[in-house]
Amino acid sequence: MSPAALNRNSLVPPPFLNGDDAGLAGFDDWLDNACLGGALPPAAAADLQHAAAVYHLDEMAESYLAQAYARAPEHPAVHIALYRFYFYKNRLSEALAVAQRCLAKTAADLGLPEDWSDIEANHAVFADHADSFAAAPRFYLFTLKGCAYLIMRLGDLESGAAMVAKLMLLDPRDKLGGSVLRGILDRVGQNDEDE
């Protein structure tokens, strides 16, 4: 999303936007899925709404996000809002910390190894959903992709490349677009060779 397209609602996960948008119905179901934390407590949802309303006031928005996290520390909606806030404020190290917490929690929920690099290509969690990933495996892979991207942006191309390779191994049909990150890495390598 370009900075011009960013608005205060980008902080708020889709279930808390205008419910008339039929295109968000599937995401609502996914986010509210019990395996990802169930329904968001109303007070935490209100905190996310307040954070979105004062997005331009960094300290105030961050304090509302901290309140939401204190009320619902395990809920993915809170993590998504925190991640988006830090990402769009260009606070990439903090966004990465949030993404890494999500990765660890989702791995534990799915019974995956704690270290993403220890997951085997044919792990049942991903192999069983080769055509259409279930909610929790999809969330794990999106989070892995986000971590890879942030690590690359922070300058650790080798670690980012390893994560991208794992993502592509777990998602061989490239449903989550790991090939886009691989293409970026390839172009960076070509630029290095040109110098």
Q: What's the pLDDT tens digit per position in 39-48?
A: 788 899 899 9
* Claim to verify: residue 97 and residue 143 sit in the same structural domain: yes
pLDDT in tens, 137-189: 888 999 999 999 999 999 999 999 999 999 999 998 888 889 999 998 988 86
The reply to whether 31 and 66 lie within a common domain is yes
At residue 128, the pLDDT reads: 63
51 lies in the same domain as 117: no
- Give burial (CB, 10 Å; 0-12/13-18/19+) of 173: exposed
Instruction: Please state the domain count of the chain.
Output: 2
The rounded distance, in Å, linking the Cα atoms of 178 and 147 is 12
178 in the same domain as 105: yes
Question: In this structure, are 106 and 174 located in the same domain?
Answer: yes
Structure tokens at 134: 């279930």
Q: Which of 40, 60, 90 corresponds to the end of one domain?
A: 90
Q: Which residue segment(s) compose the domain that 145 sits in?
A: 92-195
Are residues 186 and 104 located together in one domain of the fold? yes
d(CA 13, CA 11): 6
Same domain, 4 and 37: yes
Domain boundary among 73, 90, 107: 90
Q: Are residues 119 and 65 in the same domain?
A: no
134 and 99 assigned to the same domain: yes
CA–CA separation, 55 and 15 (whole Å): 18
Last residue of a domain, one of 38, 62, 90: 90
Q: What pLDDT was estimated at residue 135? A: 78
